[in-house]
Amino acid sequence: MLTKKFPKHYVLASTILLSATLFGQSATTSDEVDPDEVFTLSPFEVEAASSTGYSATQTLAGSRINTKLQDVGSAISVITPEFMQDTGATDNKSLLTYTTNTEVAGPNGNFTAYSGGQVEGEAYRLTNPNSNTRVRGLTSADNTRNFFSTSIPWDSYNVDRIDVQRGPNSILFGLGSPAGIINATMKNAVHDDFGKVELRYGSYGTNRQSLDVNRNLIDDELSVRFIVLRDDEKYRQEPAYNLDKRLYGAVRYEPKLFRGEGSKTTLKSYFETGTIRSNNPRSITPLDQITGWWDQLDQQVYDPADVRYSGYFYTYDDEGNESTYYPEDMGQFNKTREGGVANPNYEPWLNDVGMYGGVWLQYNNGQADPFQASMPEFKTIGGRSSTGEIDNTLSQPFSRRVLIANTTDWATRAEAPYADKGLWKAQTLSDPSIFDFYNNLIDGETKQEWQNFNNVNASLTQTFLDGRVGFEAAFDHQNYASGATRLTATGAITVDINTTNLDGTPNENLGRPYIYGNAGGGESETTNESWRLNAFGSYDFEEEHEGLLWKILGKHTISGLLSQDTRTVDSRNYMSYGTTEEFGRLTATGTGATYIDSNDRVVIPTIYLGDSLLGASTYRGINIPRPSTDINVPSTVDWYYFDATWNADPSVAYDADYYNHFTGALSTQSENPDNYVGWRTRQVQILSAEDGDQDALTTTANLQRREVDSYAAVWQANFWNDSIVGMYGIRHDEVKTIGTDATRVDNRADFDAVDANGNRIYSVQNKEATVYKAYSPSWSIVAKLNNLSGDRLPLDVNLTYNRSENFQVSGTRNDILGNALPAPSGETEDYGIVLADKGGRFYFRINHYETTVENATNSVGFPTWFFTGTGNFIMRNEDRADAYEYHLGVLGDPTSAGMEDGSWEWQYAPREGQTQEQADAEAAAAVASWRQYTQEPIVQQILDAWGFNDFSQTQLTTMSTPVNNFTATEDQVSKGWEYEFTANPTHNWRITFNASETKAIRYNIGGELLSDFVELTNQYENEPGGMGNLRQWGGEGISSTSLVSWNSNFYSKYVLMKQMEGQHATDLRQWRFNVVTNYDFREGVLDGVNIGAGYRWQDKVVIGYPPILGEDGVTLSFDLDNPYYGPTEDAIDLWIGYRRKLTDNIDWHIQLNVRNVGQHEELIPISTQWDGTVAQWAIAPYETWTLTSTFEF
């Protein structure tokens, strides 16, 4: 289990700092120092006075040295405290909808981060919503604090300003996201006495409180600052919340003892510790597995004992002659009956519940404890043969519960158009009268996320010669742990349509709506430790010498950087609950029965949400409630199951005649369930991750360590009266990465396993590192035409050009053969023009950019799991080929080969019109094609690289050396225009406007090796009678062949991605713009009042393409010229405030913000079916308000 680590000496330092703060509160008073006084800071800091309204004049984001924004050629936007105060923005979620060419996902975001999958889930995006960003249509930006890389989400309570660097900048980071950087400048202690209390209340009970106290303990020498935050954000979806608690402290010491002539020493430190507990809202509506019960099934209900039965029933006359028949209203799950006869009762809108064993826990809504723990699927381990030997079978119908299929599964089972191409998506709800997804979270309290973090930073700054020479030495330590658990990933709502329980008793829950899932979780812990040394020297020729030559040479600054960053990430996935190995052996056989993630060891909680809907005339207005309480999973339960232990009278012979209870067929007493113990309860143990069993329930774990050693040099020159400003930087980074996965024993992560040398495998010690080295240049030039003209132009006119590179190493990435892939590298080119009023009243920048990324990780949901995950298509097909070739009763169990008729065999059932012999021949042809495929050279390379076991055996297929971190790559280009306008037309009016045009293009998706492998596989999959006919689940298998799985899980996505090469990316709006303005009244009856507004608009977006099927009926392409679009979106934000002095020392400001004015219950389409009808919906941003009261003293 991961635990939060925070070294004791950091805690001690924090305690001392807090004590100094409390002491300082009694040492001075607020009126001893002028709160408006501005102190001279070092060149490694940005002055608080460098911004006016929404305009900033200085930045560190260009070169890490305080530089005028007008001298920087790269695309940097500075968000000032005034902007955040006016708009009410406090984090990425609330800010990035306003900024230039940036996007953020979430309930009030401006994009969905849609994965493009058939079943759209968003649970993985809910742990840290602040990281779900995108810049320039590429990928997420890196988050930094004081330009140290961070995973800790920023909050405005301790932030002075935000700098958004769009595109790579190797001067800042040679290693980083090519999309750019979002840097938070942390608040420092300053030599002043002041304080601030902020109280906020808002929609749905949102409340936020912060306290900020700064004290100057020794005049102009030692100051401390203490800030505390409690932010409890509530949402329209009850009971969603996000509770953020933080403590921050800072100290500044500038000893006069070391102040010489023109020199200054500054010691600074800050710490932050915090926790975030959340049950974040969902943006995508729940999966619809309920409306089909009315629209397609006419509220039909089914008996699990016969809904899947497709065989004959038998009768005998007085002379014992046998006759067969098919009963009506039975076997609806199957398309054909025994012998290949068409089943007139076939219903494609039925599907498996997805409970194949384990412990099924049933809960009533509002009750924490389960009312039933039972066997979800009929198991007969211990059953006898006619000779008395244990064959684990009984001649009973295969009983498995059914539910309403989602549209993806229905299309496949119905063989709907394009279903075999995987083009049907699972529909989500659009009618809130079924379940009010606007106001209710489908998870209720069964989902949780958490974040814990600590950060300590210390720096020493020394300047000489009146700030012309200096250095900064800094250290930063961060620990960030996050995780989440959930009951359901997709939030599917369905109805229990099973008339009986498995024991034949009536199902008292018939017609009741419910949610269920295999509860699971994951967590990650990241530790960053960094140090850096910055040094600079500047020389002004014009200031030191007279003459034209010295004036032309101007001022030059040279800076250098040495740094080391070490990052360790430990990521783990686990089941929330599971059973013991003993339980696995009780319910199943075969080598996989005792695996921790086996279907026979899982725990499946199900919550019945309301009363039965049977007989309701329509689903409209049924108003299903959300789960009203969290569930308790006991450590032991009384499990109700069928005990297949022989219990007959000794006089009963195994081979004596017995007429089957169900079918009437003549059989033997060994198949008579009355001869066994039968249904009873048994106490079983439940493992719980929350209660100390997390390691035993962990299925995968990955450990990564990255060490980056860097040095860089930057030259900045201001030529000829500051007319030409040039900047050139060169950076060298050496990156050492080590990655390892926990050894899996019975599909469980074994953290104690050792290698042949006795070294612990799950460790970064004694591992050889992958080393990557890169030189990354960066340069820019700014030509100030007004300065060149001798101040003859009416405006300041600057021409800008910037070119920069970087690369990104997020961890080990491998190709399909396990070879290390090169690191993604980014390059950007910006050029533009800046127009500014000479009095500083307005600033207008037009920038054209082109950002190129090579070897990027695929950004549109490339399903790599299909190749390398547990149960990948090679493992599945090989196991099934063995089952069909050797007639196995249990996958991977050679002792079950050639089992008798009547057992659950892996045997092809005849399709409609087929005989059994023809079905067997179809199976043999599919197996033969598969065997031929696995002999292809490129497939053999993959089998060797992944360490597959011997395919000549019938045991379960395993991988001894699976390809860790298999990654599909692509190259990306984003280009377009960015417009930024900021103005202070009067001293009390501020306005800002930004717009962007973005065209993002992807190409070279997958690379040559993967493309060759995919095309070979697709050829075999589509070969008539070939391996594409390999059925995944036995029986008739029409809806689950290898071809259907290949197309739906992978190939349809791949075809679209390949065809989209060179085309504009989907889920990207070409144009967007934002405008924000605020006016302060300074006189008259409205003196002290401020009013403001914001308007946000974004273009329509592609959400699908019509498919085109080739004349051969196989080749698939898409009509890219006629896409399906989602609508344009816009929003209005309004605010009004009032400021006045309460006393000479206390200023009060109160402000009401209303965001998304007039937007209430609306949906946004995010994907379509192949025919253009909307498939999946997201909830549109909705109106919220906050009332913020601030006291400054």
Helix H, strand E, coil C: the string for 1091-1118 is: EEEEEEEECCEEEECCEEECCCCCCEEE
Q: At what angle do helices 1007-1021 and 916-933 cross, to 10 degrees?
A: 160
> Count of CB atoms within 10 A of residue 1108's CB?
12
- Is residue 851 within 8 Å of residue 135, measured between CB atoms? no
Residue 964 has a pLDDT of 65
Cα 1034 to Cα 1045: distance, rounded to the nearest angstrom: 14
434: amino acid identity, one letter: I
Cis amide leading into 239 (omega within 30): yes
DSSP 982: E
DSSP 137: T
191: amino acid identity, one letter: H
The helix (H) or strand (E) run that includes residue 825 is: strand 825-836
Q: At what angle do helices 1007-1021 and 937-946 cross, to 10 degrees?
A: 110
Only one residue has tokens 């140090």, namely 531
The helix (H) or strand (E) run that includes residue 770 is: strand 770-784
Cα 272 to Cα 454: distance, rounded to the nearest angstrom: 6
**Interior CA angle at 117 toward 111 and 120, to 5°?**
65
Only one residue has tokens 């930057």, namely 714
- Go through the chain and tell me how many residues it has: 1193
Q: Is 233 exposed, middle or buried (0-12, 13-18, 19+ CB in 10 A)?
A: buried
Chain centroid to CA 1133: how far? 28
Strand partners, 814: 820, 966
Strand partners, 775: 732
505: amino acid identity, one letter: T
Cα 378 to Cα 400: distance, rounded to the nearest angstrom: 7
- From the list 205, 198, 194, 280, the residue with the least C-alpha distance to 241 is 280
DSSP 634: -
> Count of CB atoms within 10 A of residue 112's CB?
24
DSSP H stretches of helix in 184-326: 292-295
Cα 373 to Cα 640: distance, rounded to the nearest angstrom: 6
Q: How far is CA 196 from CA 50, 221, 849, 1136, 1147, in A?
A: 21, 22, 41, 20, 9
Strand partners, 253: 222, 267
Cα 241 to Cα 453: distance, rounded to the nearest angstrom: 19
- Is residue 115 within 8 Å of residue 125, measured between CB atoms? no
Six token digits for residue 781: 């030039």
Residue 24 has a pLDDT of 37
Cα 744 to Cα 419: distance, rounded to the nearest angstrom: 36
- From the list 775, 733, 731, 558, the residue with the least C-alpha distance to 171 is 731
Chain centroid to CA 460: how far? 38
- From the list 385, 715, 333, the residue with the least C-alpha distance to 536 is 715
- Three-class HEC string of 280-293: CCCCECCEEECCHH
Strand partners, 149: 144
Residue 577 has a pLDDT of 96
Residue 332 has a pLDDT of 93
Cα 1153 to Cα 1163: distance, rounded to the nearest angstrom: 23
Only one residue has tokens 């001869």, namely 675
Strand partners, 815: none
- Is residue 91 within 8 Å of residue 196, measured between CB atoms? no
- From the list 404, 420, 395, 394, the residue with the least C-alpha distance to 333 is 404
- From the list 751, 568, 576, 599, the residue with the least C-alpha distance to 123 is 576
DSSP 84: H
Q: Given 3-state DSSP classes, what are the helix, strand and coil percentages for the chain, each rounded to the nearest 5? A: 15, 40, 45
Six token digits for residue 793: 């132009």
Cα 440 to Cα 239: distance, rounded to the nearest angstrom: 7
Strand partners, 607: 363, 515
- Is residue 488 within 8 Å of residue 445, measured between CB atoms? no
Chunked into runs of 10 residues, the chain (1193 residues) has average pLDDT values of 44 36 36 43 62 73 68 88 96 96 91 77 78 88 92 96 88 74 94 97 98 96 98 98 98 86 92 98 96 97 90 87 87 84 91 90 97 91 92 82 94 90 92 98 96 98 91 97 91 96 95 94 95 94 91 93 95 94 83 80 96 96 96 96 94 94 91 95 96 93 92 93 92 90 86 90 89 89 93 94 83 76 86 91 94 79 70 83 78 62 61 83 92 92 80 67 74 94 92 95 83 91 90 68 86 82 81 97 94 97 92 85 94 98 96 97 95 96 98 97
**Interior CA angle at 391 toward 498 and 330, to 5°?**
25
Cα 1102 to Cα 1068: distance, rounded to the nearest angstrom: 7
- From the list 759, 765, 739, 761, the residue with the least C-alpha distance to 750 is 761
- From the list 1164, 1133, 1181, the residue with the least C-alpha distance to 89 is 1133
- Is residue 893 within 8 Å of residue 592, measured between CB atoms? no
Cα 453 to Cα 455: distance, rounded to the nearest angstrom: 7
Number of H helices, E strands in the chain: 17, 58
Q: How far is CA 421 from CA 20, 72, 858, 1042, 1109, in A?
A: 68, 51, 21, 12, 10
Cα 433 to Cα 624: distance, rounded to the nearest angstrom: 8
Residue 31 has a pLDDT of 39
